[in-house]
Amino acid sequence: MTVHSVPGVRLRQVTVNGVGLNVATAGRGPAVLLLHGFPHTWRLWTEVIGPLARHHRVIAPDLRGFGDSDRPADGYDAGTLAADAGALLEALDAGPAAVVGIDLGAPPAFLLAVRQPGRIRRLVLMESLLGDLPGAEEFLAGGPPWWFGFHAEPGLAETVLAGQEEA
């Protein structure tokens, strides 16, 4: 399927680890895997896909549970998301890739690089915390931010996003 609002992007479903992922692809050349954060989808990357696709094969999935990807009951931890990313690169025969993760996509990108270093050419991590890093102490004082718990409560975020803010 061609996405008309983003020239050159094609969408397809790829099943990895028993989960169907919606994947946007564009271009040819060395692979670049783009892992979005919350509450985004592959469309977070629409402004950079075109320029990247001039010299790279861009792969931008909706992570499990997001966008048009399947929503299984579990598997939303960074390790499983990293396994999904590695399996996606394998399923697409992408070879070693530059991997870019932002926000929620950064921890799985990091774990993919640690667990499957042969799949990674370069690694870019943005807007995320990876454990107890120096400088994060104040941000994490008293536990994680409120929105972590909000989004961990099954079904709660969907009721708000569905226009049911009063609930």
Closest CA to 10 of 49, 55, 41: 49
Q: Beta strand 97-102 with 120-126: parallel, antiparallel or unpaired?
A: parallel
pTM, entire model: 0.84
pLDDT, residue 164, reads 67
More confident residue, 1 or 58: 58
Convert the pLDDT of each residue in 50-105 to its tens digit.
Answer: 999 999 999 999 999 999 999 999 999 999 999 999 999 999 999 899 999 999 99
Convert the pLDDT of each residue in 17-58 to its tens digit.
Answer: 999 999 999 999 999 999 999 889 999 999 999 999 999 999
pLDDT, residue 163, reads 65
Tokens coding 110: 């990091």
Would you place residue 128 in the very low, low, confident or very high pLDDT band (cuts 50, 70, 90)? confident
pLDDT, residue 153, reads 76
Dihedral angle of Cα 6, 96, 22, 128, to the nearest 10 degrees? -90
Convert the pLDDT of each residue in 129-166 to its tens digit.
Answer: 776 666 667 766 777 777 667 767 777 777 776 566 66
pLDDT of 111 above 70 = yes
CA distance 38 to 88: 20
pLDDT of 4 above 60 = no
Residue given tokens 């102490």 in the structure block: 137
pLDDT, residue 159, reads 76
Can you list the domains of the chain with their CATH numbers?
Answer: 10-130 (3.40.50.1820), 132-167 (no CATH)
CA distance 119 to 136: 29
